[in-house]
Amino acid sequence: MLIYIAVAAFGLLTLLLMLFVGEIFGDHDFGHEVAAGHLDADHGGPSIFSVRIMGAFLTAFGVGGVIGRYYKLSHPASSGIGIVTGVAMATIVFQFAKVLYSQQASSEISMQGLVGATAEVSVAIPARGVGQVSVSAAGARSEHIARSIDGRALPRGAAVIIKRVGGDSLVVAAVETSASGGTS
């Protein structure tokens, strides 16, 4: 029975460490690390090999084994109960993690996605220089470094169209107004 208690305690300790210092170290995916050989790839959702899910499995496995041994079952039978409870708990935690992951929203706006959008100059763009534009896209307002496509100065408050992305800045052109300022 002692081995099952130790496994459950190790799994619980792992879960507690993830609870208190998980934000510092993150939840690593050991299966992906071994397969890909690095830590920084984004696999698009929770993994069954994450530390939290493995910790949940170990805790439930140990508890299932303790229950089996308490009822005087053999080690193979107790291990079988542990595996069933471990898989059940890991499945529940995995499904919960999938729900949480699917509800995450990305606040990152792709700069390429801004091409063609209308923006407003928030910091004047001097001739052949850089300024700043404010653009609303995907329900969020963002500020970006910008320069004029033809090198002309653009005053603060001017409406512009984003023509392309140039490095880490946007290349903009003044919006042509329909009224040319002439008399009628």
Q: Where are the domains of the chain?
A: 2-102, 112-174
- Which residue has tokens 């041994």? 69
Mean pLDDT (the chain) is 82
Dist. CA 68–CA 7, nearest whole Å: 14
Residue 162 per-residue DSSP state: E
Domain 112-174 has CATH 3.40.1260.10: no
Query: What is the tens place of the pLDDT at every residue in 53-69?
Result: 999 999 999 999 999 99
Query: What is the tens place of the pLDDT at every residue in 87-107?
Result: 999 999 999 988 887 776 554
CA within 13 Å, CB half, 105? 5
Percent of residues, the chain, with pLDDT higher than 90: 49
Dist. CA 72–CA 81, nearest whole Å: 13
Closest CA to 38 of 30, 50, 46, 26: 30
